[in-house]
Structure 1
């Protein structure tokens, strides 16, 4: 686990412009500022700090796992300098062995950062990135030929990396601009950044689909991309990898048994790699299939194959962590998590989330996430991450990414039914087009009615013409339900963005090559998986339910389902083995406050989500889990009037605080404070308060300038 902060003169064509004394003074100032920047993200690695500075660039890093990983790391000739955030896996030291024997590289440590330096020195950019497997963000500065900077992120965006440009007020004569790069935007606050809202990115929803963020001028290095900054300050961002799916016209030749075995083998390998660490490794265990399967396979590897779980051997007890929400039903899965732990014979530690705890941690969670969220589940994850840290764990395995790979969400069903699965022409829905089309219309109408009703979500008009650019794939229409609707914004915002088309704005952020494959090559459900993974997963879920809420407590999470080797295998599977048509199977009743309540019942009566994963995981899970349908991780959204949450949001969302945002309609917030709690509570009003409460928190803690028309 670690954090990155970098400051570099953007235009480096002129160097050595000042006196030696001036240069020394500038370096001292930069070191002080960079140290303060690292302090703002010290939670990402509070045990060590390293800074390297020359006349053009300053690179800072904090880490927490092992002294051998102290960074920045420097090449043997002193010309290349690197920082790496996250974890890179080298099975059996195969990469190191090849670099040493075939290319003559001499390693001086076992640090991931030196492996990155060795790969870059051997293959150059971007080819060195092809060899990296894991969850990472990194920055390389090559000072040869005037200085070349490279910044990159892992393929799914598990680890964050942001950049912005500021005026160099403390530099040498002539000033100029400086490029700042960091693991979190808050690190920029010590380096001259003066935050402003990017109202357009917020209203259009593109912050969760492309490079932009909630903050004007702060952008992301996108997942699976690398950014190069030349000596002249020119910046170019390119993609080094992307998800690829099977051609929808290609018939599947493998048996179901072969495919299930392949899933089992690839997932087991991904988990085995992520058990390697110099510290204890635990597991986040919910009541779902994904984390339960991770726990089951881990238990098998440790007990049957003698694999070490972090720095502990097979005699150590495996430890899992779960969350308990108040009340019974679909929100609290701690009961089934405990039954799974008992079946596996592993230890389980619980974090009970009552209303007061959610209220007390709401603002801190928003501050660490650096964006608003639709639900209180992020606050739950924020609090859960205190438990492993309190019990001596710094690394946990998680189940994120499984739903995206195995079509685990109900809103994938309409796109699954859009076309026959020609890879498996003998399945019932491929043979019977009339049945498939009838089911498709029933499902789509149910979702249309759901979107019209609100049902606790934000309401958006969905223009069907929008989706022609992506072969009528509808998943981004569903994703818009997570995007605040125009009604809650100030009048000048509503006027400026009248008729905003959130799905279209998000579609426009997608790579042109991918949209071409969506139109002509991929099955609609695979296209749906791609669009969701490149938007909501990367920019929302992996932040507020992943890195940011985990690293707030110095916890490094490793999601084996987002291993790109596993992903490549899964993306070549036919749609019909991921989402199976199983009308003969019984389903337990699902109703209540979930976003798709009322729609989910008949969908789960007809389909089994993640079917091939269930088959692959049979040896490691209970019958209860094998038969259980997907339950999303969400917090309760109905709470009493005048309770801790109601009072906390009243305290945060005052008229003065809301009006200081500049882009929110106070009257909407006032009405929401009256309507969101107690008997007959309105779900949309509750979402309004969660979103605005996060914005107010960020505004105060970051010191964000009030948004106004024209700024």
Structure 2
């Protein structure tokens, strides 16, 4: 896992503009001798950019600059495979015409190497998994992306055709951002890498208002966009930029009967999950496992233990063949969020080495600002700080690589918000479903009422669960309403100039027309719910603040077996009723039923029978404690007014309501505003101002 920063001059422009008065006094015009100066300045800027993301790759650093100074590719390396200099990046082909930098892990690279050896005479230089990118591109062209399996982001430049491509893995496990700056295209693993390249951050207020940063390609920053999961961005020598898709999540026609038996389905999931885990154990450094009290991480730990003990697999290069190393975090026992006792019992059952860090309120407060800086966006709770702290644990005992459980809930139907949409229609693809039509309708009504009451009880918007245009666009699923339930009400009056902003509309619009038609006509509502959640919350929150950003802050590479695309394509093709199963005797639903059955031989009876409890940090904290003091210092009138888009009158007293009156929604708002302040200060974000021509009470004037 690594970090990348790339610069591409558009329409023939150099990647680094000379200052007005250069060393030869030519007022910025390039003459003999100036090219070397320009090159040295570009190299320095690129190095400064890599320095700011060196946490992503502390082991080595490299760059390549084209002879015409138009293209610069930079890379910081976290050495995982091929620890020799042959694994250093950028990579180049034999003719020195194709150049690439890659962030991530590519699996099955040995098989790909063997296959390419039968088709081409191109010789790879080292043993790095990432080096196959150039060989695949040379043989398949842009179609090479479909050959990649793993978690990755990459940039490649073909100097023969002056063609640049940047791509991101199928689920967006690895981040990749881009922006235009002074006639240049900038691409980097983190937006902060743009700061030394002349980028001056501004708030994208519209993106904040309609949650575009969470549900489409926008970010918190104006003009900075994500390359979407399963997409690639290209730039021609003319400067033309476009983004296209190479893969997407898909589901079967809900009207077609699935002929497979339950045992066939269970075995298919088990085999693919074991294989996804097996390929992720391969590394030239030791590999560990994150272990919580939930079934997802426990299933991985159990299967890893089976592969190591029963099949002789190694945990990377670790000489330990009998015991697996697991890492966990514990909160105060009286917080109601501590699952470490269950994790302890799982560790004892599996016979693994178990490393645990205790997190109290002071520890969360101590890490709050740094974790926010690394995430580059806000979060409504402190889960991200807990994950930030967890990622310290493996590093402290010499590990660089861990396996983690992200993505299981999205694929297997694990979230409670999915239940109403599972019940919204019958499941004709699975006629042996124990849920009768009468019971389905009864449970649908009950779950809708329960969901509305829950959102009302925590102060969220329960009215948005009613009929609406966005829901009609998505076959009336309520998951879209749940995703938009917590709407901030702290914005300054002038932000109304951006018009009506509805997060549900953003979610509906983010799905392309082809997918919306499938949602309306062919996909079961549960699958529609899983799709929009995976494109929004999974890619833009869970895989960032609970994934890459907090892990790579400590130079930890996390591998996600549940998001291995051969596995997810298998799971996506299963009937909804083997993901969520009605238990007629217990009169309850079992979420992730088929995952439980697939991993039953590898986990404890306690976990097999346990209802889902999502990973979460505590949500209430005492008056006068470390977090109360921290947020009181951040949420001041001066800091809030310096944001520009927040109304102080709506924020004043927020901290008191959160900590003294214990209002859960106020706590969420307070965490969010405090993170905006941290981002504003750490990034130097310009204060947001009303557009020119805006007048209070009137709006934009002609």
Q: Normalising TM by the smaller chain, what interval?
A: over 0.9
| Equivalent position of 2:626 in the other structure | 644
In the alignment, which residue of structure 1 is the partner of 2:240?
234
Match of 2:166 among 129, 139, 151: 151
Quick one: distance in 2 between partners of 1:45 and 1:458?
A: 42
Pairing 1:224-623 to 2, within 5 Å after superposition:
224-315=230-321, 317-328=323-334, 330-429=336-435, 432-453=436-457, 455=458, 457=460, 461-462=464-465, 464-466=467-469, 467-482=471-486, 484-485=487-488, 487-493=489-495, 495-497=496-498, 499-585=500-586, 606-623=588-605
Report whether the alignment pairs 1:42 with 2:54. yes
Quickly say closer, same or farther: Cα 1:700–1:222, change in 2 above 3 A. Answer: same
SS at match of 1:639: coil
Residue deviations 1:445-501 (CA, integer Å, cap 9, x gap): 221222333x1656773452221111111212111135x42x2111212x3356422
Q: CA deviation at 1:329?
A: 6.5
How far the C-alpha of 1:15 sits from its partner, in A, is 11
Matched residue, 1:688: 669
Contact 1:451 1:460 in 2 (8 A): no
Partner Cα distance (2:459, 2:608) in 1: 30
State whether residues 51 and 59 of structure 1, in contact with CA within 8 Å, keep that contact through their aligned partners in structure 2: yes
Q: How far apart are residue 369 of structure 1 and its match?
A: 0.2
CA distance in 2, matches of 1:532, 1:452: 22
User: Per-residue CA shift, 1:550-600, capped at 9, x if unaligned?
Assistant: 000000000100000000100111000000011423xxxxxxxxxxxxxxx
Residue 141 of structure 2 is matched in structure 1 by 124
Are 1:32 and 2:44 counterparts?
Answer: yes
Q: Which residue of 1 aligns with 2:19?
A: none
Cα pair distance change 1:329/1:21, threshold 3 Å? same
Q: Is this contact kept in 2: 1:460–1:481, CA < 8 A?
A: no
Report how far residue 441 of structure 1 moved: 1.5
Structure 1 residue aligned with 2:190, among 166, 184, 191?
A: 184
Q: Is it true that 1:86 corresponds to 2:104 in the alignment?
A: yes
Q: C-alpha separation between the residues in 2 aligned to 1:73 and 1:106?
A: 13
Q: How far apart, in 2, do the equivalents of 1:13 and 1:185 lie?
A: 22
* Partner of residue 20, structure 2: none
Partner Cα separation in structure 2 for residue 459 and residue 11 of structure 1? 51
Contact 2:192 2:683 (C-alpha < 8 Å) held by counterparts: yes
Q: Is the 8 A contact 1:518 1:527 kept in 2?
A: yes
Q: Which residue of 2 aligns with 1:599?
A: none
Task: Report the Cα offset of residue 14 of structure 1.
Answer: 9.3
- TM-score normalised over the length of structure 1: 0.92
Return the match for 1:95 from 85, 99, 112.
112
Give the stretch that moved more between structures: 305-314 or 691-700.
305-314
Task: Report the counterpart of residue 669 of structure 1 in structure 2.
Answer: 651
- CA distance in structure 1 between the partners assigned to 2:676 and 2:312 by the alignment: 48
Report how far residue 99 of structure 1 moved: 0.5
What is the Cα-based RMSD across aligned positions, in Å? 1.6
- Residue deviations 1:80-103, cap 9 Å, x none? 100000100016x11101111122
Give the CA deviation at 1:529.
0.4
Kindly tell me: are residues 362 and 456 of structure 1, through their superposed partners in 2, closer, same or farther at Cα, counting changes over 3 Å? farther
Q: Using the alignment, how far apart are the partners of 2:595 and 2:153 within structure 1?
A: 29
Q: Distance in 2 between matches of 1:372 and 1:15?
A: 32
Residue aligned with 2:248, SS:
coil
Q: Which residue of 2 aligns with 1:710?
A: 691
Q: Could you tell me which runs of 5 or more consecutive residues in structure 1 were left unpaired when the two chains were aligned.
A: 168-176, 586-604
Separation of aligned partners in 2, 1:434 and 1:368: 50
Report how many residues are paired: 673
* Structure 1 residues 498 and 229, CA gap change in structure 2 (3 angstroms): closer
Q: Which residue of 2 is the match for residue 19 of structure 1? A: 31
2:14 touches 2:71 (CA, 8 Å); kept in 1? no
Asked whether the equivalents of residues 464 and 485 of structure 2 are also in contact (C-alpha less than 8 Å), the reply is no
CA contact (8 A) 1:279 1:395 kept: yes
CA deviation after TM superposition for structure 1 residue 506, in Å: 1.8
Looking at structure 2, the residues matched to 185 and 460 of structure 1 have their Cα atoms a distance apart, in angstroms, of 36
